[in-house]
A and B are shown apart, each in its own frame.
Chain A
Amino acid sequence: MIECKNITKTYKNGETETDVLKGISFTINDGEYVAIMGPSGSGKSTLMHILGALDSPTSGTYFLDGRDVSKLSDDELADVRKNKIGFVFQSFNLLSRATVMRNVTLPLLYSEVPKQKREMLAKDALTSAGLEEGRWNHLSNQLSGGQMQRVAIARALVNNPSIIFADEPTGNLDSKTGEIVLDTFQKLNEHHAHTIVLITHERYVAEHADRIIHIQDGLIIEDKENSAKRVATLHHTHETT
């Protein structure tokens, strides 16, 4: 569960100070599918970095599953990320010359999961992320964008985190493959009860979530249930694109 109160983030660059987040408060419960939406430069990624324990807020409190993570050291934050958080990035960030399997098992190396169990967990994650088995031993740079993003989703899932953060996950994909990725999130949320925080600047993408937090200039301007929820429209022919 995410509980943040009055989170601010100020970047100092020499003399100039930039207030990127100016007091953000909200709660996300387990199993929610939330979109954080706002125009480019509004502070979405900055917020995600704080929520994802990649960064600490300048002020305010942030409780993740009941633990205050706003004042942790770098190594403590690394542990939080390892155990509770999965990331999906706009640019996938796969090890391009490694196989799909190696990419997905990578987080398990840092949590020292035994080798046999790693394979098993990776297969489960790849199945949940919807990547067909024939691709599991391909090199990741031999995959299409949509497939790469599903490998990235599997990698985010493999440690069984409490929350998955996806920063513009469809940003580098065409609309059809974007749909596939959104459908994957949908299923993960519905069938596996994963908490998903989807960050996007597109209202259309945000509308796939159950709740939309709309931010602008570092402030929440709207936070409400999504009444017009979209369901990803899939045609099976897209699977191979």
Chain B
Amino acid sequence: MKLPDLLSETYSSLTVNKVRTGLTMLGIVIGIGSVIAMVSIGQGAQSSIESKIQSIGSNLLIVTPGAQRGPGVQISEGRGTAQTLTQEDADAIIKEVDLAKAVAPEISRRYQVTAKGTNTNTQVVGTVASYPTVRNVEVDSGTFISDQNVKSLSRVAVIGPTTRDDLFGTDSDPIGQTIRINKVDFKIIGVTKAKGGSGFGSQDDMVFVPLSTAQRYLAGDTYVTSISIAAEDANSMSAIQQQITDILLERHNIKDPTKADFSVINQADIVATASSVTGIFTILLGAIAGISLLVGGIGIMNMMLTTVTERTREIGLRKAIGAKKKDISTQFLAESIMLTFLGGLIGVLFGWFFAWLISTFASITTTVSTTSVMLAFGVSAAIGIIFGYYPARRAAKLNPIEALRYE
């Protein structure tokens, strides 16, 4: 039988019992739809985490005090408590690591920040002029802290848009106004551009002040809480990481690298760790949805077996007028594949719609990727073949005489 004829025969057979065909297809629609939706949540989480990590800078390395216990694992215990990194360490890195594009030491802590009658608790970061280059921060209005500010211990501040909204009201112009941190007045000279992201640790809810000023008036010492280094490109990352490690080990007089009192975190490591976690999450969600797909597949097989029995006489007749075994098995296989393929198509649209609903109403980022759509189609066609094979073979094997006699 020619392909167009096969397709039209298949279509006719499937439309004979529309309700049953629809219900059977529903199993596949739900299966494929939930796979698409679930995987879109997983992949959405993955891409949003990755873009968040990318937004803190590109080709970024961060040196933090405290020991590193495993690759890519940041020890929160070390941060803030251990004071092993100093201004001099940062200066040494600036001087000796030639592959580094920019280096920005910082000292950060949460403070209660007050302005005229308002106050907020936020992250105050003491840093230098190169910070915006290293950490992808852009200034929306005014200027960022300059080298001159750092040199002269200026009491100036650059605030994030969220902080501005909290202290001065949405979209107001705070430049020239004064804020008070830890009983010290700072004059606002700039506001950074919104980066998105919300909650604790948001890059938009921050106050930047000159590093020297922060050390003098806020911390009272010359330690730094972290040093961020931007590499020229991704290829030089590991070389820089090695250089920094060597310099700091030497400066801190440590022979055994496993006993280092600092850790150098590579942005790529953070991305890899986060991706592997969200990857597992995606697989888990996909697997749960996959179970409903399997149930849908069994539904297909059930319907096809019923159909074969019901259409025994028709099969006998088709054989009597010259259909070969292969013609019969192809026809039944085509029916189950068309069923799953259409189910897959509707399921993809349905899953897409569901993913859209989730991202619109639950504000969870979802990503429907081409790969997952292709995979869904592949899987639904495969289900058609796998679960249609046995019924098709059973139909093909029927003896025409007995089939014609079947009541």
Contact = CB atoms under 8 A, between A and B. Distances in A.
Interface of A: 49, 52, 54-55, 74-75, 78-79, 81-83, 87, 89, 93, 95, 97-98, 102, 106-107, 109-112, 155, 159
Contacts of A97: 16
Interface string B380-402: 00000000000000000000110
A107 B9 CA distance: 12
B322 A112 contact: no
Interface of B: 1-2, 5, 9, 12, 16, 313-314, 316-327, 400-401, 404
B15 to A, nearest CB: 9
Contacts of B318: 106, 110
A89 B406 CA distance: 13
B12 A78 contact: no
Contacts of B401: 49, 54-55
B394 to A, nearest CB: 16
Contact of B1 (A49, A95, A98, A110): A110
22 contacts: A49-B401, A54-B319, A54-B320, A54-B400, A75-B324, A75-B326, A78-B319, A79-B324, A81-B321, A89-B404, A93-B313, A102-B12, A106-B321, A107-B322, A109-B1, A109-B2, A110-B318, A110-B321, A110-B323, A112-B1, A112-B2, A155-B321
Nearest to B17: A97
A78 B317 CA distance: 12
Given A75-B325, A107-B322, A110-B321, A93 B2 contact: no
A83 B320 contact: no
B1 A78 contact: no
A83 B5 CA distance: 19
A205 B325 CA distance: 35
Contact of B322 (A78, A95, A102): A78
A106 B315 CA distance: 12
B404 A93 contact: yes
A220 B294 CA distance: 58
Contacts of A109: 1-2, 5, 9
B322 A74 contact: no
Please indicate which of the listed interface residues B5, B317, B404 has the most CB atoms of chain A within 10 Å of its own CB.
B317
Given A81-B319, A109-B9, A112-B2, 10 more contacts: A54-B320, A74-B325, A75-B325, A81-B320, A81-B322, A82-B322, A93-B404, A109-B5, A110-B1, A110-B322
A55 B5 CA distance: 28
Contacts of A87: 320-321
B263 to A, nearest CB: 73
Contacts of A111: 322
Among B2, B16, B320, the one with the most A-chain Cβ atoms within 10 Å of its Cβ is: B320
Nearest to A167: B404
B284 to A, nearest CB: 45
Contacts of B9: 109
9 closest residue pairs by CB, A with B = A82-B322, A107-B321, A93-B317, A78-B324, A110-B322, A109-B5, A81-B322, A75-B324, A97-B16
A97 B12 CA distance: 9
A83 B321 CA distance: 9
Contacts of A95: 314, 317
Nearest to A158: B321
* Residue among B325, B326, B404 with most chain A CB within 10 A: B404
A107 B319 CA distance: 10
A78 B2 contact: no
B400 A98 contact: no
Contacts of B324: 74-75, 78-79
A177 to B, nearest CB: 21
A74 B323 CA distance: 10
A76 to B, nearest CB: 9
A54 B320 CA distance: 7
Nearest to B397: A74
Contacts of B323: 78, 110
Contacts of A155: 321
B334 to A, nearest CB: 13
Contacts of A79: 322, 324
Contacts of B1: 109-110, 112
Nearest to A97: B16
A134 to B, nearest CB: 23
Contacts of A112: 1-2
Contacts of B322: 78-79, 81-83, 107, 110-111, 159
